[in-house]
Amino acid sequence: MKLNKLEKYWILYDVGNSAFVLLVATIIPIYFNTLAENAGISPVDYLAFWGYAASAATVIVALIGPVLGTVADTQGFKKPLFAASMAVGAIGCAVLSVPRSWFLFLIVFVIARIGYNASLIFYDSMLVDITTTERMDTVSSHGYAWGYLGSCIPFILSLVLVLFGGQLGLSTHMAMTLAFLLNAAWWLAATLPLLKTYRQENFVRLPDRPVRSSFTRLAATLKDIRQQKHIFLFLLAFFFFIDGVYTIIDMATAYGSSLGFDTQGLLLALLVTQLVAFPCALVFSALSKRYETSRLLRICIVAYIGIALFAIQLDKQWEFWLLAVLVGMFQGAIQALSRSYFAKIIPSEKSGEYFGIYDIFGKGASFMGATLVGIIAQATGIPNAGVAVLAVLFVIGFIIFCKADKLNR
């Protein structure tokens, strides 16, 4: 299927913001680990504090997301809100190297993460404007696929700066500064084409009091969702299974570091995840033309149950590499297919508010997973113990999704 210009520009934003996601999954937690070690923080507490920071960002966006999404459905509001949230994320990324205190570093990280998460509410809801229902699975999958591949470019350059900065005459701090600036610039540059060409096709007419009207519409939508059981149950299932997915993405490097694995090995393993995710996301895109989206989602959730069970006993570096490959095979598919499945079952003119609610059940859900991993790890003193809860989340999500899909037929 040939993509049109607007679809390509929409996909390009995935390429831009995925650079920040990869940075969060790799270099940022390792840099935070260095700051924490210098302050005398133990490995278990380091893992927990990182989880709490990731949770704080997602909870804040979960609280404001539905309101922002509803406001964005108003004619002319979606693009400026998208641009503002992207700017907060990119600027936050650029200044991450400024704090020398681990606590202040986490504050800047939370701000950058809030901007990133908020931008996705508006970006995901643009899917109904930039393509047709029949093309959503393919376009959504291409977004994640090219995001994984494209993000490798600034990541490899950042890796060179961090690992070989000393040989290039750079201090560790200067190398990190350049890496953060590089990824922020990449994110901004990849966003500009979409900002220039996007037009909001589905919207609510501008009322006299747009903010007040947005709250009224949001209340009505929440009431409607309770009555539309197939949407409600999908969101509930999504809450559980995507919680596990995002927790793995957020805490993989922190988890490996807490187990004492080699830093360079962790970074290269997660680069492998990106490279594996690219073709696998495109494979699932092709499969979506032959098989129902719901069937492919069930396969992905079952695969993640196995991944979580394997991660519980993780104690060798080669096992982390194998885990990276397995995650790459299904990571893009489960996110892309969830996004397009949801876009198909909601009203197009209310895409912003529905995706704001989707964000509560999605990235907001990672609050639970990251927090539980941190609490259990601290309570037991064993990092592996915290991972066990993820398998339970995937099983619950699978059971509820099967019920939701049955109602949607």
pLDDT, tens digit (0-9, with 9 covering 90-100), for 63-78: 787 778 778 888 888 9
List helix spans (H) across 26-135.
Answer: 27-38, 43-72, 78-94, 102-125, 127-130
* 348: pLDDT strictly greater than 60: yes
pLDDT attached to residue 367? 66
Residue 121 lies in a domain: yes
Domain range spanning residue 256?
Answer: 5-194+214-408
How far is C-alpha 395 from the geometric centre of its chain's CA atoms?
A: 21
Q: Which residue has the higher pLDDT, 222 or 334?
A: 334
Any idea what the Cα angle at residue 76 is, between residues 75 and 78, rounded to 5°?
Answer: 100
> Mean of the per-residue pLDDT values for the chain?
85
Q: Which amino acid appears at position 166 of this protein? A: G
Residue 200 lies in a domain: no
Handedness of CA 17, 22, 23, 28 (dihedral sign): positive
Percentage of the chain surpassing pLDDT 70? Answer: 90
Residues of the chain by 3-state class (helix, strand, coil), percent to 5: 85, 0, 15
Percentage of the chain surpassing pLDDT 90? Answer: 31
Residue 242 lies in a domain: yes
Question: Nearest 5°: phi and psi at 74?
Answer: -70, 140
Q: Which residue has the higher pLDDT, 139 or 51?
A: 139
pLDDT attached to residue 90? 96
By mean pLDDT, which of 73-82, 207-216, 233-242, 389-398 is the weakest? Answer: 207-216
Confidence bin at 248 (pLDDT 50/70/90): confident
pLDDT attached to residue 207? 58
- pLDDT tens track for 163-211: 888 888 888 889 999 999 999 999 999 999 999 999 988 877 765 565 5
Confidence bin at 377 (pLDDT 50/70/90): confident
How far are the Cα atoms of 132, 259, 309 from residue 388, in angstroms, in the given order?
40, 15, 7
* 402: pLDDT strictly greater than 90: yes
Total tally of structural domains belonging to the chain: 1
- pLDDT tens track for 272-286: 888 888 899 899 988
pTM of the predicted model as reported, rounded to 2 decimal places: 0.77
Handedness of CA 39, 41, 46, 52 (dihedral sign): negative
pLDDT attached to residue 250? 65
Contact present, 182 and 51 (Cβ < 8 Å): no
Q: Which residue has the higher pLDDT, 153 or 351?
A: 153
Could you write out the DSSP letters of every residue in 159-202? HHHHHHTTTTT--HHHHHHHHHHHHHHHHHHHHHHHHHH----S
Q: Which residue has the higher pLDDT, 35 or 93?
A: 93
In whole angstroms, what is the distance from residue 130 CA to residue 128 CA?
6
Residue 205 lies in a domain: no
Residue 166 lies in a domain: yes
Residue 159 lies in a domain: yes
Hunting for tokens 């999954």 — which residue is that? 25
Confidence bin at 395 (pLDDT 50/70/90): very high
- pLDDT tens track for 85-122: 999 999 999 999 898 889 999 999 999 999 998 999 89
CATH number, domain containing residue 33: 1.20.1250.20
Q: Of the spans 120-124, 206-210, 310-314, 318-322, which averages the highest pLDDT?
A: 120-124
Residue 201 lies in a domain: no
Residue 142 lies in a domain: yes
